[in-house]
Amino acid sequence: MSTKSKGTRYERELFHMFWENGFSGVRTAGSGSTPFPAPDLLVSNSRKILAIECKAVRSNRKYFPEKEISELNEFSIKFGAEPYIAIRFDRKGWFFMHTRDLGFGKTAHFISYDLAVEKGKKFEEIIQ
């Protein structure tokens, strides 16, 4: 499977995990379908609303275009959601990073595996 289709499969699995744990929500069709920014997942259990961009990566570090982060933040502020990046490292599972906890290099935000371990939440924590 391509990296992209694996990413889609993992994103779908994550969406199912939220539903199995008392959340409802939507998976968006992907960028390009509307002129407005939209997170990959928008889920809520009526107490906690999460706007989530999902990434499955093979390396130990992932960079994010500034636009992706600013759009996620803007969307979330208007909606009243918490902006998260869900990042899945091979064989390490998902970590949920609030956008305020991302690293910032010379020109772009990033998440490293070490930073995810330090600042990220695991699925069991994010659904609390």
User: Which residues are catalytically annotated?
Assistant: 31
SS3 41: strand
- Judged by CB under 8 A, the stretch of 18-26, 55-63, 87-95, 109-117 that binds its own copies is 18-26
Question: Which residue among 6, 7, 10, 45 contacts its own copies (CB under 8 A)?
Answer: 45
Specify burial of residue 115 (Cβ count, 10 A radius: 0-12, 13-18, 19+). Answer: middle
Q: How many residues bind its own copies (CB under 8 A)?
A: 31
Report which of 1, 28, 10, 2 is spatially closest to residue 87, judged by C-alpha positions: 10
Per CB under 8 A, which region of 53-61, 77-85, 101-109, 120-128 contacts its own copies? 77-85
